[in-house]
Amino acid sequence: MSDPGLGFVHRFRTGERPGAASLLLLHGTGGNEDDLLSLGESLAPGAALLSPRGKVLENGMPRFFRRLAEGVFDLEDLRFRARELADFVADARKTYDLGDSPPVAVGYSNGANIAAAMLLLFPGSLGGALLFRPMVPLVPDRLPVLDGVPVLIVAGQHDPIVPASQPQELAELLRKAGADVTMHRSTAAHGLTREDLEVGERWMKGISVRR
């Protein structure tokens, strides 16, 4: 399905494994609600998939929040959009009967950044996060209590967009907040590779065991 109900154009696919974590799929700049569906199916076969389209347009390309320049984020808009997305997730969990556990976010680039912002600003909105090519979206005034929330950060060793220090700084920030952070650097640039998928699949199986 794809409709503007719940405030976001989105797709939802019903899960085939009762009790399994659902996935919140968050595309990168220029993507849409269809982009990460096949990735979600590969990462967690049978999981329910919730995939919204970002509302912000940059030169006609959907994003989840505004930026002022490459790597320079509009923090006021970021805070607003993170709250908006957290509210959407809460409403979607009720509408689609996704159970008591919040979804695990799978975000790529801009989608990874909004997912990281949700973790830092709205703890409890996500049950975990797989962040491909993220940056530090913002440093909150007060760190949340993430209490072991599992997070995998997958950076690209040859990424021309994300500065090499950013994923590590994000990992340290989330660890200070109490998240259980795993860091991996793929032999890749900004785009996703088979290595990224394999690392993500292993991590998803691991957190499924821990749940």
SS (H, E, C) 75-120: HHHHHHHHHHHHHHHHHHHHHCCCCCCCCEEEEECHHHHHHHHHHH
- The active-site residue, picked from 91, 101, 190, 208, is 190
- The active-site residue, picked from 10, 22, 159, 196, is 159
Q: Strands 49-52 and 23-26: what pairing?
A: parallel
Residues in Cβ contact with 169 at an 8 Å cutoff, skipping those fewer than 6 apart: 136
What are the angstrom distances between the C-alpha of 198 and each of 10, 35, 186, 193?
26, 18, 11, 9
- The active-site residue, picked from 51, 109, 125, 186, is 109
7 burial class (0-12, 13-18, 19+ CB within 10 angstroms)? Answer: middle
In our burial notation (b when 16+ CB lie closer than 10 A, e otherwise), range 174-201 reads: beebebbbbebbbebebebeeebbebbe
Active site residue 190: yes
Gap between the Cα atoms of 116 and 82, Å rounded:
9
Active site residue 141: no
Residues noted as catalytic: 109, 159, 190
